Amino acid sequence: MLSRCGEVVLSIRPSKFQLKLLETTSHPGTDMMSFKLDRKDVQQENHYLDYKAGQYAAMDLETKEDAEGPVRSFTIASSPTEEEFILISTRIRDTPFKKKLANLEIGTPIKITAPVGSFVLPEDDNSKRVVFLSGGIGVTPFRSMVKYATDNRMPIRIMMFDSNRNEKNILYKTDFDQCVKANNNLKIIYTITGEGQGGSSSSIAAAAAGSDWKGEIGFINKELLTKYMTNDELTDSIIYICGPPGMLKAMQKLLQEDLRIPDLRIEIEEFTGY
């Protein structure tokens, strides 16, 4: 980069930030919470958190009593097109880290590293078709990529399958509905699994879905994928999978063994820790 006087200025990307907590939201009927953080660093003027849609960062809450330590990785669920904030969502469970996070006061500065990761949209070719397979809280990078592609009117075709234990656990549904309205290249299929309701049979899933549920019921499987996509469409796509370890294992088996999708066409982000 050249300065106004003509000398070469090295553009150094900061590796650590302290971002102010702007807003916290609970999602009724679930153990999930979302957090909006300012993109501007509280200590260094002009330091602004920059990222690619789909990347993640490590958050340090300096919790001393947590067996897993004071740091957790979180995907940035917002899109870089959302200029005022970054969005993080997680399940609040009984760990000191999560309890501290849930109870932070608005305005608290939070330590976070510069975002990293390669679970991002294809950078070379927007004519490609992508398929997103999302399990529960694994939806965070997909919100970022869907919103980014929609706001930038990208021609990329996106088919997303979003699997959740019940309807209440479908995170970002309002945002996704707006994106589907605005983006003719985007289609989203929701399925309810009934997991965590004491079993996973389709009758439990149906009960979890409720009588007015109009989406799919059961886990993402070959029947579901081929109901909405031809074999050619599937094998011609780049397939992204994100979710907890058990879901990833099942999806990898489905794609590699049942559908014979080459590894080169599969992108995986594992949420370790669940």
Ligand X SMILES: Cc1cc2nc3c(=O)[nH]c(=O)nc-3n(C[C@H](O)[C@H](O)[C@H](O)COP(=O)(O)OP(=O)(O)OC[C@H]3O[C@@H](n4cnc5c(N)ncnc54)[C@H](O)[C@@H]3O)c2cc1C
Using the rule CB under 6 A, is 98 a contact of ligand X?
yes
With b for 16 or more beta-carbon neighbours within 10 A and e for fewer, the 116-147 pattern comes to ebebbbeeeeeeebbbbbbbbbbbbbbbbbbb
Q: Between vectors from CA 128 to CA 126 and to CA 133, what angle results, nearest 5°?
A: 110
- Binding track, positions 132-171, relative to ligand X; x by CB under 6 A: -----x--x-------------------------------
* Number of shown-chain residues binding ligand X (CB under 6 A): 21
Contacts of 87 by beta carbon, 8 Å cutoff, 6+ apart: 34, 35, 36, 76, 77, 78, 143
Please choose, out of 11-19, 78-86, 89-97, 207-215, the segment that lies near ligand X by the rule CB under 6 A: 89-97
Query: Under the criterion CB under 6 A, does residue 55 sit at the interface with ligand X?
Result: no
How many whole angstroms separate alpha carbon 139 and alpha carbon 132?
Answer: 9
95 or 235: CB nearest ligand X:
95
Q: Choose among 119, 108, 97, 110: nearest CA to 17.
A: 110
The binder of ligand X chosen from 90, 144, 150, 166 (CB under 6 A): 90
Half-sphere exposure in the Cβ direction for 273 (13 Å, CA): 18
Q: Counting contacts by CB under 6 A, is residue 72 touching ligand X?
A: yes
Show the tokens assigned to 261.
């999708």
273 binds ligand X (CB under 6 A): yes
200 sits near ligand X (criterion: CB under 6 A): no
Q: What is the DSSP letter of 139?
A: G
| Binding of residue 95 to ligand X (CB under 6 A) | yes
Q: Does 65 bind ligand X (CB under 6 A)?
A: no
- At 133 the three-state DSSP class reads strand
With contacts defined by CB under 6 A, name the span among 45-53, 71-79, 171-179, 252-260 that binds ligand X.
Answer: 71-79
Looking at 4-12, 170-178, 257-265, 266-274, which segment touches ligand X (CB under 6 A)? 266-274
Q: Would you tell me which residues interact with ligand X (CB under 6 A)?
A: 56, 68, 72-75, 89-91, 93-95, 97-98, 137, 140, 269, 271-274
